[in-house]
Amino acid sequence: MNSRKSWWILFIISLCVIVPFMAPYFLIDPEKSRIQISSTSIQYPTLISHIFFAFIALIAGFLQFVKKIRSRYPRIHRMIGTIYYTSVFISGILSLIVIFYIENFSKVMSFLVLAILWIFTTIKGIHSAKKKNYNAHQIWMTRSFGITLVAVSGRVLVPFILLAYFLLNGLHLPGGRERMVEEALNVNIWVGLLINLIIIEWIILKRKVD
């Protein structure tokens, strides 16, 4: 399978994962939220905005790596890039507000680290482009988009984390199913981020070797 087909398959998989996750928020009803809402005036609007701009970043991120657009239509590529980094900055900053409403410390730290890395790698990518160092630009934007995709991988990996929890607890569920799901959702972002960074650095190293 060539890289172009693989890219669009990843795009379709990402939509299949993210759109159902976003569905309850289309109704703009705090009671339909997937997480507990304690503030309908700050937390919920911030959460919805964070999710919306993260979705825009996801779509723009896929498009900015399309070789045909990048090589034949540089102006469109730059416009997509502007949409991408603007969405990343807005979503990343909003996530720093959302984490104040999260009670679990591990989950708070995962979102904090994710947001900082997301914004940092994107800034490095923009800075490289302004200096016309396009090789570094591509590397940093690849890292940035890899972090964007944690929204996908973090959810795809949940069943595997649940299985690992079950196996590591000797085929038992201490605390029951609810505890198992809670534990999985407390670490899925960490696991998704780690795996994505490993894959991204492998891709970058492979390009250098080739």
| Distance, CA of 98 to CA of 43 (rounded, Å) | 6
pLDDT by residue (tens digit) across 49-79?
999 999 999 999 999 999 889 889 999 999 9
- Say if pTM beats, i.e. exceeds, 0.85: yes
E strand or H helix at 55, and its extent? helix 43-64
Angle at 43 between CA 39 and CA 47, to 5 degrees: 145
Residues 6+ apart with CB under 8 A from 31: 37
Q: Are 134 and 83 in contact (CB under 8 A)?
A: no
Give the pair of three-digit tokens for residue 177.
């199913």
Q: Are 139 and 204 in contact (CB under 8 A)?
A: yes
Is the pLDDT score of 1 beyond 60?
no
pLDDT of residue 85: 97
Q: Which sequence spans correspond to the domains of the chain?
A: 3-147
pLDDT by residue (tens digit) across 123-156?
999 999 999 999 999 999 999 999 999 999 999 9
pLDDT by residue (tens digit) across 153-201?
999 999 999 999 999 988 888 888 888 999 999 999 999 999 999 999 9
For 8-33, give one letter per residue: b (16+ CB within 10 A) or e. eeebeebeebbeeeeeebeeeebeeb
Distance of CA 130 to the CA centre of its chain: 25
